[in-house]
Amino acid sequence: MSSMRAAQVGAAGGPFEIVKQELPEPGPGQVRVLVEACGICHTDAVLVDGYLPGAAFPLVPGHEVAGRVDAVGAGVDGWPVGTRVGVGWFGGCCQRCPSCRAGDFINCAQLQVPGLAYPGGFADAMLVPANALAAIPDGLSAVDAAPLMCAGATTFNALRASGVQPGELVAVQGLGGVGHMGVQYAARMGFETVAIARGTAKEQAARDLGARHYIDSTAEDVAARLRELGGARVVLATGTESPAISACVDGLAPRGHLVVIGASAQPLSINPLQLIFGSHTVVGHASGTARQSEQTLAFSAQAGIRPVVETASLEDVESAFARMRSGEARFRMVLTTGN
């Protein structure tokens, strides 16, 4: 293969076009990843619509990548050709800024995000810094591994970082591509798991994924229901409707945390009294490093956790993207290349 396909967006909000490109050669510190599958994340829509700072068009989105190492640049050790690898939101870091020097790589001042810093995974191949790679364990297919690199890593690592203990009540707000992973991790990690979503259409799916309780936010007072259950140690907010997230705060247990991971620019409305009484905290969580993504993949393989996906070929990116935007996908759209 000397040429490759890429699904490119020419201008903000614009349609995708499939373009033919030369297969790029990896520079020092880089590998070329032959993409087998790439998930479509809600944040890809924020990128395509031009709302992420630094977005320069034309661009190729895609930060839920699974494939294999296809060529290795100078100075790269440990990632031989043929290694099965994933790439997520964490697409490389500078290793020089204060955050990197403190070991906090996800908060690198020059964090590289695939699709933003360099062409992403809606393509046959991409160049990636070797420090952004996560090894995919045997037993996870590329289609299953791809959504774990953002939707999976974000939820698993947000729950791990929250300090919640087995047996405690965890509510997952929103049941889309991200939330359906959050429910699975919360249940398998031993938390008493509540799924919160609009309507009842997803209730059975939520229970099948491991939710012990289900709250229909259109019919019930979410905070009152959570308090009846004893109060949530953690509410993992995966939705993008800020009023629905704000409505969970009064359902937190004392010293409970609202952990926000759904990407939205819409303000939350929380008054100081809601934080003071009960010593509640609101915290954001961003994805995970390459190592944390690798741990996500390993835990998922070990615990039998898989995303529920709909697949589409790279050529059908436009309709697949529209299906993600509509919220109708059950639950993650994944593009496949046939590689």
Which positions touch Zn ion (CB under 5 A)? 41, 43, 93-94, 97, 100, 108, 150
Q: How far is the CB of 253 from Zn ion (least distance, A)?
A: 29
Q: Least separation, in Å, of the C-beta of 162 and Zn ion? A: 19
Helix, strand, coil shares of the chain, percent, nearest 5, are 30, 25, 45
Whole-angstrom Cα distance, residue 285 to residue 283? 7
Q: Which is nearer to Zn ion, 253 or 309 (CB)?
A: 309
Nearest to 259 by CA among 230, 231, 279, 238: 238
Provide, rounded to whole angstroms, the least separation between the CB of residue 170 and Zn ion: 21
Report how far residue 177's alpha carbon sits from residue 132's, in angstroms, rounded to the nearest whole number.
22
Comparing CB distances to Zn ion, the nearer of 154 and 217 is 154
Distance in Å, CB of 178 to Zn ion, minimum: 8
Nearer to Zn ion, 9 or 93 (CB): 93
When the beta carbons of 94 and 161 are compared against Zn ion, the nearer one is: 94
Within 8 A by CB and 6+ apart from 296, the residues are: 134, 148, 149, 152, 153, 156, 157, 288
d(CA 146, CA 62): 10
90/191 with CB nearer Zn ion: 90
Sequence-distant (6+) residues with CB within 8 A of 63 are 41, 43, 44, 87, 88, 89, 91, 113, 114, 115, 120, 121, 149, 150
Task: Confirm if 121 and 143 have CB atoms less than 8 A apart.
Answer: no
Return the beta strands (E) in the chain as ranges.
3-9, 16-22, 30-40, 65-72, 84-87, 125-129, 134-135, 169-173, 192-197, 213-216, 232-237, 252-260, 281-284, 309-313, 332-336
- Least Å from the CB of residue 247 to Zn ion: 24
**Residue the block writes with tokens 């995970």:** 288
Tell me the closest approach of the beta carbon of residue 198 to Zn ion, in angstroms. Answer: 21
- Name, in order, each residue with C-beta under 8 angstroms of 103's C-beta and a sequence gap of 6 or more: none
- Closest to Zn ion by CB, 158 vs 222, is 158
Shortest Cβ distance from residue 248 to Zn ion (Å)?
22
Of 150 and 209, which CB lies nearer to Zn ion in the complex structure? 150
**What residue type is assigned to position 324 of the chain?**
M
Report, in Å, the least distance between residue 70 CB and Zn ion.
23
Bond before 58 cis per omega within 30 degrees: yes
Nearer to Zn ion, 81 or 322 (CB): 322
